[in-house]
Structures are given as structure tokens and as C-alpha cells.
Amino acid sequence: MQSEWACAVFEDTFGKAAELVVEAPGRVNLIGEHTDYSDGFVMPAALPYGVSLAARATDGPSRLYSVARGWAKSFQVAEVEPGSTRGWANYAAGMAWALRQAGMPVDTNAEVVVANDLPIGAGVSSSAAMEVAFGWLWLTLSGFPVDPLQVARIAQTCENQYVGVNCGLMDMAASALGVDGHALLMDIRTMEVQPVPVPDDLVLMLCDTGRRRGLVGSAYNDRRASVERAAATLGVSHLRDVTEEQLEAQAASLNEEDLRRARHVVAESARVHQMAAALRADDRDQMGALMQASHDSLRDLFEVSCEELDAMAEIARAAPGCIGARMTGAGFGGACVALVTEQDVPNYVERVSEAYGQRFPDRESVFLAARASRGAGIGYDFR
């Protein structure tokens, strides 16, 4: 991550050295998409890319500068309320507010530089990386202990209630709890996390379509309403409590659209366990089949894919060295994830970007090869 860069920009911007650096990674979800808010199973991995905060306590107010986004309007951490900040400052101020709601009244303001080496709005959860990083920062500066899972939960409150996007817990939990070399099999209901080793010679390849997500908030909230309605009709709190057999037995009680959404959620959650087994057994055919089934279901049943994601998944899957590929993240743009054998990576990127560029000459695709990585923490030089 970009901690040294963040520190250098901090000195240039504020005229003194930073006293604390926090790093929080983005994540890629290997499988288990749109299952988290049904209390289901997911399998993200933290990336070696994310946001780095270089910071210093100040008597206030808090002043934030992002290399990617410029200055935010200053605010007092002890006073922010939903609506009192705008734009990207919401992720920083929202964490201070959410920490206060959770009984941790952080009150130490800071001067902060945000540097990122993670694409923003590309489905790798720069928003969760921001929230987790600022959670760590505010807690540390105010002298509170940092519990990673608690920070993740508070980050979800921030995004739901302060930013206003009804997301689940997965993104924040992956950023906070990542383990080197492992994907994380997460039970969103119990928050039991089982690290599942990714075979050594496989790389997580992020294939960003260059299409940014538009209207994602409303479509997301719409999907969420649909699965909540389905659960209520089936008499359960969440679709997690329904098996494929039970869903089919009661299919007639749901409207056609809610039924399709529910079918996706129930089958996708089951695929997460099948993927864990495939990874442990190093069964690459099965990994590929599961990733394809996931993509097809997101396209046809949950309807959150788009032309670019469908094309990218297809191209990514066909290129030599690919074990499997599918769209990842909330959808409507953003990235695909592929599992690629390491030795094939250089040719792979060339081939896929060329084929994708021919189909979408106006889209700037970006490729990131990554190993599953550790979660958020205080930057190396400051530990």
C-alpha cells in the first residue's frame, strides 16, 4: 500500500511529519455475491491494495486531504451528525459518528492525508477500506482499543446510516480481518471466519471493466427489498434459513421477480461451501464451474451484471491460464475476478486487455494481479 507516499504528501500538505499511518485493504469477493444481507455465506479475500492514511492529531477541526479527491470540508469529530458532511468526507466523519453511537466517543481531531492504490468505485470496496481505515485512526488517536470485527460492524453502521447505502458486513469484515494467502469463508450470521488457503500458484486477477457503477445505491436497495420481501413471505428472518428444496416447495407464494432473486441467494450461498471444498482439494475444474455458475446466476436471476461485465467474464475465462472467472462486487459495472495460474499472468493480461479493448474501445480496463493479503492495521513503520 501507499504509506510512504501518504507520509510524503502529508509533509508537503501540512508542513510537518505524520505521527500515525493506518492501512486498510480493499477486497475482492471470490464467490458468494449478494448473500451477505441475507445472513448467508461469502468468500472474500483482502487485497494488497487499499487506502493509507497518514495522520497527526490536532486541536481541531479535522482537515482531510485525499490524493484522489482533494480537500474535504473540515469538521469536528465529536460533533458530526448524518447530513453535516458531504462527499467523501462522509466515510471519515461517518465513522466518528458511528463510533460515538457504539459507545466510543472519539474526540481527537486529525490532519489526514488519504492515499490509495485501489481503484475507486470499481467493486473492490474502496469505501469499506476508507471506513475501516478511519475507524482504526479515530480509535487509536482517542486511545480506544481496536477490535477488528467491531470496527467492521461499526463501518457497516456508517455506510448504512451515515452514507446511506444499505450494504452488508462482508466488505468491511474482509478489510479488517484479511489473512495472508487465504480467502475468508465467512458466516455473516455468526461472523465465524474460516481462512481457506488459496493454492500457492494461483493469483487473484482483478479485471476492471472501466465502467463505473451508476445508480448503484437505488438498485442495491431495490434488490435488498426484494430478498427481504421473499424472506418475510417464506416466514423466515433471512433467506439464509431457507434450503433450495424449501424455496422450490413454496415458489408459488412469491412473485416472479422475488423468486428469481431468492433462487440466486440460496444457491449462491451454497456455492461458497462448495468453493471452500474445491480450494482445499485443489479441484480446479470445480472452482471454474462454480465461478461460472455464480456469474450466470448474477446475470440471469439477480440481474446485476451488464454488457461489460459479461464480456469481461467471458474473455477472462477463455484466456490461457484461467481457472475461473466471474463478476465480483455489487455489479452494474466494476470488475471481474479470475483465478489465474501465476506463470500465465503476463500473457494473460495482454490477451484479455486486448480482446476486451476490441469490444469496448472507449473503456479503460485495469488489471491487478494480487495475492490474498492481511487485513487493516497500523502502518509498518509505526507499529
Closer residue to ligand ADP, CB minimum distance, 51 or 259: 51
Regarding 85 and contact with Mg ion (CB under 5 A), the answer is no
Q: Is 171 a catalytic residue?
A: yes
Q: Are 290 and 339 in contact, with CB atoms under 8 Å apart?
A: no
Tell me which stretch binds Mg ion (CB under 5 A): 123-131, 177-185, 258-266, 285-293. 123-131
- Whichever of 173 and 230 has its CB closer to ligand ADP, that residue is 173
Q: Rounding to the nearest 10 degrees, give the CA dihedral for residues 328, 271, 150, 54.
A: -30
177 CB-contact burial (10 Å; exposed 0-12 / middle 13-18 / buried 19+): buried
CB atoms inside a 10 Å sphere around CB 196: 21
- Contact range with ligand ADP by CB under 6 A, out of 5-13, 28-36, 122-130, 239-247: 122-130
Residue 232 C-beta: closest distance to Mg ion, Å: 26
Select from 29, 127, 156, 209 the one that contacts Mg ion (CB under 5 A).
127
Q: According to the binding rule CB under 6 A, does residue 116 interact with ligand ADP?
A: yes
Q: How far is the CB of 250 from ligand ADP (least distance, A)?
A: 34
Instruction: Give every CB contact of residue 361 below 8 A, 6+ residues apart in sequence.
Output: none
The answer to whether the CB of 341 falls within 8 A of the CB of 284 is no
Between 125 and 157, CB nearer to Mg ion: 125
The residue number with the shortest CB distance to Mg ion is 127
88 touches, from Mg ion, ligand ADP, none (C-beta below 5 to 8 Å by class): ligand ADP
Q: Is 121 in the site for ligand ADP (CB under 6 A)?
A: yes
Helix (H) or strand (E) holding 309: helix 307-318
Indicate the residue among 120 and 290 with the shorter CB distance to ligand ADP: 120
Range 285-344, binding ligand ADP (CB under 6 A): 329
Give, as one character, the DSSP assignment of residue 211: P
CB of residue 71 to ligand ADP, shortest distance in Å = 10
Report the distance separating Cα 299 and Cα 327, nearest Å: 9
- Binning the chain into helix, strand and coil, the percentages to the nearest 5 are 45, 20, 30
Residue 114 interacting with ligand ADP (CB under 6 A): yes
Q: Does 127 bind ligand ADP (CB under 6 A)?
A: yes
Give the torsion sign (CA, 295, 297, 300, 303).
negative
Residue 320 CB coordination number (10 Å): 10
Q: Which residues are catalytic?
A: 171
- Contacts to Mg ion by CB under 5 A: 125, 127
- Contacts to ligand ADP by CB under 6 A: 51, 66, 68-69, 87-88, 91, 114, 116, 120-123, 125-127, 130, 329
